[in-house]
Amino acid sequence: MLQNNTTKHHGMRRNLVTELKNKGITDTLVLEAIGKIPRHLFLDSSFESHAYQNKAFPIGADQTISHPYTVAFQSSLLQVKPGDKVLEIGTGSGYQTAVLCELKALVFSIERQNELFKATKKLLPKLNYYPKELIFGDGYKGLLSKAPFDSIVVTAGAPFVPKDLLAQLKIGGRLVIPVGKDPQIMHLYVRTNSKKFSKQEFGEFRFVPLLEDKN
């Protein structure tokens, strides 16, 4: 599959990185990661010519891959260091998962749509991305068995901040979560001690909703 990652795609990625810089993304490690990842291989081939535009696209099961700007913005807020244990809620296409792998995080990612879960579990190793664990389940609960995390990123719009996610952060750990209906406001929570969290808000974004478990 990697043979379908040509110099043409490389050039398109360079332009995307320039666009993200122009839009205010400054985190060089995140920009480098986006410059490396073959985003077109995370999408249906019919979208290939648009894969490096700053757009969201359908990925099946009524879900979308997030805009590159959104992925870059959330990834920057996480401030991932190599070896960090990071939990992602909403694996979807696996593109954000790949960014976290490029940042050398130990990635755990939860997806509630079985169709997407299965497809992405197959795709990532083909592209040489090896998250620690992909989990089919409900992200509202986090992943208690692997907690605490250095950071948690929610890639769907949450109607409220799930308590379990805050509880599963290390002291100093960061939760990046879009909160609200449409649009959502990007929130960053940092755990300052066992009981306290600081909160910052970062403007409007649009995500598909974080859904309650069907079961």
Work out which of 25, 34, 43, 63 binds ligand SAH, going by CB under 6 A: 63
- Please count the other Cβ atoms lying within 10 Å of the Cβ belonging to residue 148: 16
Work out which of 34, 51, 110, 147 binds ligand SAH, going by CB under 6 A: 110
DSSP state of 67: P
Work out which of 31, 65, 86, 87 binds ligand SAH, going by CB under 6 A: 65
DSSP state of 132: S
> Could you tell me the CA-to-CA distances from 98 to 131, 142, 197, 199, 202 in Å, in that order?
8, 19, 28, 27, 24
Of 64, 111, 72, the closest CA to residue 90 belongs to 111
Closer to ligand SAH by CB, 87 or 106: give it: 87
Name the segment binding ligand SAH (CB under 6 A); options: 12-20, 27-35, 105-113, 168-176: 105-113
Gyration radius from the chain CA atoms: 16
Name the segment binding ligand SAH (CB under 6 A); options: 16-24, 76-84, 192-200, 205-213: 205-213
CA distance 70 to 154: 12
Contact call for residue 142 and ligand SAH (CB under 6 A): no
Backbone angles phi, psi at 8, to 5 degrees: -60, -45
Contact call for residue 210 and ligand SAH (CB under 6 A): yes
Please answer whether residues 166 and 191 qualify as being in contact, where contact means their C-beta atoms are separated by less than 8 angstroms.
yes
Residue 23-52 contact track with ligand SAH, rule CB under 6 A, x = bound: ------------------------------
Contact call for residue 66 and ligand SAH (CB under 6 A): yes
By the criterion CB under 6 A, which residues form the site for ligand SAH?
59, 63-66, 89-90, 92-93, 95-96, 110-113, 116, 138-140, 155-156, 208, 210-211
